[in-house]
Amino acid sequence: MQLEIIILAAGRGVRMQSDLPKVLHPLAGKPLIWHVLKTAAALNPFKLHVVVGHSAEKVKTACADFSVNWVFQKEQLGTGHAVLQALSEVSPESRVLVLYGDVPLISVGTLRQLIHETGAGSAVLTADLDDPSGYGRVLRDSAGRFERIVEDKDATPSELEIREINTGVLIVSAAQLNAYLPTVTSDNGQGEYYLPDILSRLVEDNEQILTINALSDEVLGINDRFQLARAEAANRVNRARALMDQGVTLIDPTRVEIRGEVECGSDVVIDINVILSGKVVLENQVNVGANSCISNSTIGAGTVIHPMSIVDGATIESSCSIGPFARIRAGTRLSSEAKIGNFVETKNTTLGEASKASHLAYLGDAKIGSSSNIGAGTITCNYDGVEKHTTEIGDNAFVGSNSTLVAPVNISAEAFVSAGSTITKDVASKELAVGRSPQRNVTGWKRPQAKK
């Protein structure tokens, strides 16, 4: 039987106290619903439906990377009503998995277990929580078989003591949904049409409801910012554990933020308060210093990112040294054994093998050859107020401290620029460029005195 998935994402999320729809609040740098869609897509459903309502266009825009059938729910009258809106577009031959746009941490493995271990039958995902407040409780008969769900607001004091909760995630056939959902009423404490009510009706008709138990962190629902912070912490632990299982050393797993796809080689070491976002590749024996941020970059084997450095949209080859306090911006490419030191910023710049800019420099729109030295305080003047221009520096060139290179300009291989020079003309190979005023010493000069 083919699988179709319905994701419920129509609510506003009043308790978030925000103009942003609840499902668009970020977790690990991506909207909550993005995580749910990624998990759902990994299950290879025949069709993926998302029920939207509040700020529907914003939700659609944020999920543009996924192939989705959008269903609009004009009024939010409960989970049963939401699923009913999508049913007309679900094949009667399908089995339907219902997920939630604000429950982002359920694993693909758990959902596969729910789908495959329950055969073609109906099943619900449950979890045992130390504090089940706010969740519907799972009621069982004397033989331990599933009987029904009672919502928190409708539960008796004894039922509130039950720790097994309904996650809301369930799988049933489309035929059963079509048959039973129209019979669900809103005669309950919240005046809503509860999706789990169909399960008790199935039981009444002698249908067995199977259960699969999930880990408590997987089923965290996000209704307020505190719960969002809890989910962020749980996700942080999960992602850190996954890296450590691959052989990565995390000095403190609770203080590494992974907000994207990270691929690591062997013997990688990551210090505290590091943020990895977007697509990041850390090859063998990369060492990332404390308080550094790396996004959408590849870091070559043996490279050291010293503390307090930012690398964004760059390609760093092997055995380079970055920082501390360096900013490597988009379009930067460092060849092997290159060095970018403290308080150096690069943008759209290539640095050849074993070249170095050790301190206090800005290199923008520059092409620098191998084994060249860029002195402290050097800047490339790449912007004329309208357009960007390129500075080219050849192999084995030497640029002295506090030099200003006014682009477009070409400093050839083995050229030498004296410290403190402003260079506006090309410098030929092996030439010395001196672009500064002659020094004048004034004899008999007297230091100014403060007036009494």
Phi and psi dihedrals of 169, rounded to 5? Answer: -80, 125
Three-class DSSP labels, the chain? CCEEEEEEECCCCHHHCCCCCHHHCEECCEEHHHHHHHHHHHCCCCEEEEEECCCHHHHHHHCCCCCCEEEECCCCCCHHHHHHHHHCCCCCCCEEEEEECCCCCCCHHHHHHHHHCCCCCEEEEEEECCCCCCCCEEEECCCCCEEEEECHHHCCHHHHCCCEEEEEEEEEEHHHHHHHHHHCCCCCCCCCCCCCHHHHHHHHCCCCEEEEEECHHHHCCCCCHHHHHHHHHHHHHHHHHHHHHCCCEECCHHHEEEEEEEEECCCCEECCCEEEEEEEEECCCCEECCCCEEECCEECCCCEECCCCEEECCEECCCCEECCCCEECCCCEECCCCEEEEEEEEECCEECCCCEEEEEEEEECEEECCCCEECCCCEEECECCCCECCEEECCCCEECCCCEEECCEEECCCCEECCCCEECCCECCCCEECCCCCCCCCCCCCCCCCCC
**One of 35, 116, 359, 389 is an active-site residue; which one?**
359
Cβ contact 7:48 at 8 Å: yes
Token digits of residue 74: 């004009």
Burial zone of 294 (CB within 10 Å; 0-12 exposed, 13-18 middle, 19+ buried)? buried
Closest CA to 84 of 190, 188, 183: 183
Residue with structure tokens 């410098």? 427
**Residue 448: alpha-carbon gap to chain centroid:** 59
Token digits of residue 66: 């996924």
Q: Is 359 noted as a catalytic residue in this protein?
A: yes
Q: What is the DSSP letter of 91?
A: -
- Which residues are part of the catalytic machinery? 359
